[in-house]
């Protein structure tokens, strides 16, 4: 299941898309930070598609996925005879990305020695193949992505400060999915539709209990996790309407068990309301304004209920 478009109803994400569009045409480096599965690669591809480089290559290299010893030749290529086994010339990713966009994914995993070489490419606009004698001009737009906080790594001398500033020209922070309540709803419904269509099934829908469960989960794997849960659920649920118990979220019961936060028959309306308020406040990180918005009640009503139920909740 691959989505080519960034679907979002979240105001912060919309702002990110606006910024991305306005910088797309430039050659400015973009540094995207966000938890795993938030859509960093998707955003990099979006920026490329909106740029005047769109018809040229988009090349991505995951710095964590390539063994350290092979990274340099992956990036820069090598000449025939550069080392034992180099029986013919190999073109590196930088050259492949010429006139296009190069995504350096998980850039935090790049060893310091190679950080220096990347800095040189950014400064001089040229690369050297391993074992090569001459510099080769490359015109590449660099986008870097990381789920680690690079400034922390700079402070710990694990990441070059000069390279950080070169990359951080346009910083973009993708918020975690749990902090994008509107996206939780929109993307859930979107993934249900896509899964049904791709698998030739009649369109299913999520009921209120399913959506409530989705909104109460932390989604540590963000959009990728949501996408997987929904696709699995669509395939395993024969009914046209998907409810709470059909959604199997890994780790969900373990997390919820200690606090028995499930609404079940035998509970009074008051108990259920109390739970819903608690969970919503947890979700909004105790932000009452947002909680009231999600609950569809006024802040005053929310405040009254908090007092009425003598809830112990954090301050705003």
Ligand X SMILES: Nc1ncnc2c1ncn2[C@@H]1O[C@H](COP(=O)(O)OP(=O)(O)OP(=O)(O)O)[C@@H](O)[C@H]1O
Site string for ligand X, 68-107 (x = CB under 6 A): ----------------------------------------
Q: Which of 30, 103, 121, 223 binds ligand X (CB under 6 A)?
A: 223
Which strand (E) or helix (H) includes residue 61? strand 58-62
Beta bridge partners of 78: 90, 130
109 lies in the binding site for Mg ion (CB under 5 A) = no
232 lies in the binding site for ligand X (CB under 6 A) = no
| C-beta closer to ligand X: residue 73 or 147 | 147
Q: Which residue is nearest to Mg ion (CB)?
A: 41
The 10 Å CB-count burial string (b at 16+, else e) for 248-277 is ebeeeeeebeeeeebeeeeeeeeeebbbbb
Q: Which stretch binds Mg ion (CB under 5 A): 26-34, 38-46, 91-99, 111-119?
A: 38-46
41 lies in the binding site for Mg ion (CB under 5 A) = yes
Binding-site size for Mg ion (CB under 5 A) equals 1
Distance in angstroms between the alpha carbons of the first and the last residue of the chain: 39
> CA 287, CA 294: separation in Å to the nearest integer?
11
| C-beta closer to ligand X: residue 195 or 227 | 227
41 lies in the binding site for ligand X (CB under 6 A) = yes
| C-beta closer to ligand X: residue 158 or 228 | 228
- Closest approach, Cβ 231 to Mg ion, in A, equals 19
| Exposed/middle/buried for residue 293 (C-beta within 10 Å: 0-12, 13-18, 19+) | middle
> Contact positions toward ligand X, by CB under 6 A?
2-3, 6-8, 34, 36-42, 147, 223-224, 227
């Amino acid at each position: 299941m691959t989505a080519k478009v960034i679907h979002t109803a979240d105001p912060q994400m919309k702002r990110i898309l606006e910024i991305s569009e306005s910088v797309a045409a430039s050659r400015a480096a973009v540094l995207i930070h966000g938890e795993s599965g938030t859509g960093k690669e998707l955003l990099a591809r979006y920026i490329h598609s909106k740029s005047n480089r769109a018809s040229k290559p988009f090349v991505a290299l995951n710095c964590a996925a390539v063994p350290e010893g092979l990274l340099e030749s992956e990036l820069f290529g090598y000449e025939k005879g550069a080392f034992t086994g180099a029986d013919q010339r190999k073109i590196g990713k930088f050259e492949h990305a010429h006139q296009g966009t190069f995504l350096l994914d998980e850039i935090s995993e790049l060893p310091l020695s190679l950080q220096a070489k990347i800095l040189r490419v950014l400064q001089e606009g040229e690369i050297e193949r391993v074992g090569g004698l001459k510099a080769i001009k490359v015109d590449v737009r660099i986008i870097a992505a990381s789920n680690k906080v690079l400034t922390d790594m700079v402070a710990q001398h694990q990441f070059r400060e000069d390279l950080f500033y070169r990359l951080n020209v346009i910083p973009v922070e993708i918020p975690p999915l749990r902090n994008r309540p509107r996206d939780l709803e929109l993307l859930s419904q979107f993934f249900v539709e896509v899964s049904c269509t791709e698998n030739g099934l009649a369109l299913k829908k999520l009921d209120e209990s399913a959506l409530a469960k989705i909104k109460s989960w932390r989604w540590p794997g963000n959009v990728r996790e949501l996408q997987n849960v929904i696709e699995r659920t669509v395939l395993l649920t024969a009914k046209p309407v998907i409810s709470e118990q059909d959604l199997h979220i890994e780790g969900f019961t373990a997390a919820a068990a200690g606090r028995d936060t499930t609404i079940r028959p035998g509970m009074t309306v008051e108990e259920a309301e109390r739970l819903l308020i608690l969970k919503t406040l947890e979700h909004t990180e105790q932000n009452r304004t947002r909680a009231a918005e999600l609950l569809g009640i006024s802040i005053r009503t929310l405040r009254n209920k908090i007092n009425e139920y003598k809830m112990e909740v954090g301050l705003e």
